Structure 1
Amino acid sequence: MKHEALLSCRGLEAGYGASQVLFGLDFDIHAGEVLTLLGRNGMGKSTTIKTLIGGLRAKKGEIRFGGKPIHGARADAIARLGVAIVPEGRQCFPNLTVREHLLAFADNRNGLRDAWTLDRLYGLFPRLKERAGNMGNQLSGGEQQMLAIARALSTNPRLLILDEATEGLAPVIRDEIWRCLDQLKAVGQTTLVVDKYVEKLVLLADRHIILERGRIAWTGSSVELDSDRGLWTRYLGV
């Protein structure tokens, strides 16, 4: 049985000035599923995310979240509806402690059950509890990534977006991030993931979208993507 579409895009076009990047994207993200956005660099993944979260205004098309149109809405309004992003580059605050990061953004305005409290976040990332009094600039890259994910979860989002969450991390830390994402899937967190580790993503995600020059070149299930390695070579350079 297909879940309700939490986010829907129809005919989405976007770009920068006279340069168009996205050409008529149509896709849905269903409540409770993990969807990936794949493609080589420069194919439109970052532009898609910026448009979804209100950082870039769509030129054409419609974006609906929870049944409400959000194309043209401000980023803060979209965030308040329950969209949280773990940005590329982590963007932790150097002058806030780990605990302050997790309390400063904490909210459950959408009334989600089993809310992400401080203790629950520490349970997901025990290392953050050990570093609770450390400033953002006193953390390792892996710890900053854990903090960025926990900070996003502290808002109790209906949709969590992860943009290159494992980029530049040591393999052992990447494995910890994958473990975290498995746990989030198990509790029904709707998630959109941009990452390059396809062999991990086919184990985690329900569905995948491959972008090629701003258009959807392929979409399908993990079983379908795993069974057609030609797609990996043709579109992902794997």
Structure 2
Amino acid sequence: MSDAPLLSCRGLEAGYGASRVLFGLDFDIRVGQVLALMGRNGMGKSTTIKTLVGGLCPQRGEILFDGQAIHGARADHIARLGVAIVPEGRQCFPNLTVREHLVAFADRRNQAAEPWTLGRLYELFPRLAERAGHLGNQLSGGEQQMLAIARALSTNPRLLILDEATEGLAPVIRDEIWRCLAVLKAQGQTTLVVDKYVEKLLPLADHNLILERGRIAWQGSSAELAAQRDLWSRYLGV
């Protein structure tokens, strides 16, 4: 993991109209780091993600990606810089096949030494290879989630963002997603992950942020979070 921040937020404030949701967030995501963003529902996690990827213009503060200001930039510009999101709800295209999803969004501009080719994506998710000719609406919820992750990886992202990637999935599928994320961590993929399964996040995350009413209530390593179980009930409802 590098000490250099790939993404930095300073004084980030955002909301919807007159309603303020985020209040002065300060955090970094370093190259090769896995950052977990936690908090109860309604605490600002989704708003943070929307602001980072250009879906919502911040009201104040700055966001830097590899030293370049991206606050207020269009979503497509941020994506071309190398930010990919696995959105909540998967959002697979019903009229595209699995293979078409993975080919249509492929981008080699941000590729590392070992780019995510179609073959590598199928190795990561063998089930997608079996379903390569099936349309998005012919897949199960778990298969759609695998496809959403593979689609994001096909862009060879410098920063991968996963918003509730295991929400609503059967336990066996959740385990498959966690296995995938462990593989990506071992390969040095810089990742921001939002999820509610603290026990699964602890071995994965290098650093953790807990949001409470749009502010960072706590941050620290997984070892520190594991040692402070009172935080789980106070801020996460666990």
| TM-score (norm. length: structure 1) | 0.99
Q: Does 1:191 align with 2:188?
A: no
Aligned pairs, number: 238
* 1:37 aligned residue: 37
* 2:125 aligned residue: 125
* 1:25 aligned residue: 25
Distance in 2 separating the partners of 1:130 and 1:86 = 21
Distance in 1 separating the partners of 2:91 and 2:55 = 16
Q: Does 1:149 align with 2:149?
A: yes
Distance in 2 separating the partners of 1:161 and 1:121 = 17
Distance in 2 separating the partners of 1:18 and 1:131 = 46
Distance in 1 separating the partners of 2:66 and 2:112 = 14
Q: Which runs of 5+ in 1 are unaligned?
A: none
Q: Does 1:213 align with 2:213?
A: yes
One-letter code of the match for 1:121?
L
- Percent of aligned positions that are identical: 80
Secondary structure in 2 matching 1:27: strand
C-alpha displacement of 1:164? 0.3
Asked whether the equivalents of residues 2 and 31 of structure 2 are also in contact (C-alpha less than 8 Å), the reply is: no
Distance in 2 separating the partners of 1:142 and 1:62 = 36
Q: For each residue in 1:58-91, what CA deviation from the matched residue of structure 2 results, as whole angstroms up to 9, or x when unmatched?
A: 0000000011000010000000000000000000
Q: For each residue in 1:24-63, what CA deviation from the matched residue of structure 2 results, as whole angstroms up to 9, or x when unmatched?
A: 0000000001001100000000000000000000000000
Secondary structure in 2 matching 1:137: helix
C-alpha displacement of 1:108? 1.4
* 2:66 aligned residue: 66
Secondary structure in 1 matching 2:150: helix
* 2:46 aligned residue: 46
Asked whether the equivalents of residues 6 and 67 of structure 1 are also in contact (C-alpha less than 8 Å), the reply is: yes
* 2:97 aligned residue: 97
Distance in 1 separating the partners of 2:235 and 2:166 = 20
Distance in 2 separating the partners of 1:72 and 1:143 = 34
Asked whether the equivalents of residues 111 and 157 of structure 2 are also in contact (C-alpha less than 8 Å), the reply is: no
C-alpha displacement of 1:111? 3.7
C-alpha displacement of 1:110? 2.0
One-letter code of the match for 1:145?
Q
Q: Which runs of 5+ in 2 are unaligned?
A: none
* 1:230 aligned residue: 230
Runs of 4+ aligned residues of structure 1 deviating over 4 Å after TM superposition are none
C-alpha displacement of 1:2? 5.2
| TM-score (norm. length: structure 2) | 0.99
Distance in 2 separating the partners of 1:146 and 1:223 = 29
Asked whether the equivalents of residues 8 and 27 of structure 2 are also in contact (C-alpha less than 8 Å), the reply is: yes
Q: CA RMSD, aligned part only?
A: 0.8
Distance in 2 separating the partners of 1:111 and 1:179 = 22
Secondary structure in 2 matching 1:12: strand
Asked whether the equivalents of residues 98 and 147 of structure 2 are also in contact (C-alpha less than 8 Å), the reply is: yes
Asked whether the equivalents of residues 160 and 191 of structure 1 are also in contact (C-alpha less than 8 Å), the reply is: yes
Distance in 1 separating the partners of 2:228 and 2:22 = 25
Asked whether the equivalents of residues 159 and 191 of structure 1 are also in contact (C-alpha less than 8 Å), the reply is: yes
Q: Does 1:9 align with 2:12?
A: no
Distance in 2 separating the partners of 1:2 and 1:65 = 15
Q: For each residue in 1:113-151, what CA deviation from the matched residue of structure 2 results, as whole angstroms up to 9, or x when unmatched?
A: 200000000000000000000000000000000000000
* 1:76 aligned residue: 76
Secondary structure in 2 matching 1:62: strand
